[in-house]
Amino acid sequence: MNRTNRLILGAVVLGSTLLAGCASNAKIDQLSSDVQTLSAKVEQLSNDVNAMRSDVQAAKDDAARANQRL
């Protein structure tokens, strides 16, 4: 290959690498945002489950008291 062809090939390879890197960074940023969103949802669901546990325990206690009266 002559020098011009190598220069053109190098420019194409470099350009492709840069474009792939930009797209990859954008995808990584999007995935990172998705992970943060899902983590927040998991935290909220965990809080909801914990709140329900106390409600369920209170209902069980009420039912046990009601059954004792019978």
Burial of 57: CB neighbours in 10 Å, binned 0-12, 13-18, 19+ = exposed
Cα gap 61→68, rounded to integer Å = 11
- C-beta of residue 62 within 8 angstroms of C-beta of residue 69: no
What are 13-68's pLDDT values in tens digits? 777 776 666 667 788 788 899 999 999 999 999 999 999 999 999 999 999 999 99
pTM for this one?
0.55
Identify the band that residue 4 occupies on the pLDDT scale cut at 50, 70 and 90.
confident
Phi, psi angles (nearest 5°) of residue 2: -85, 175
Cα gap 66→70, rounded to integer Å = 7
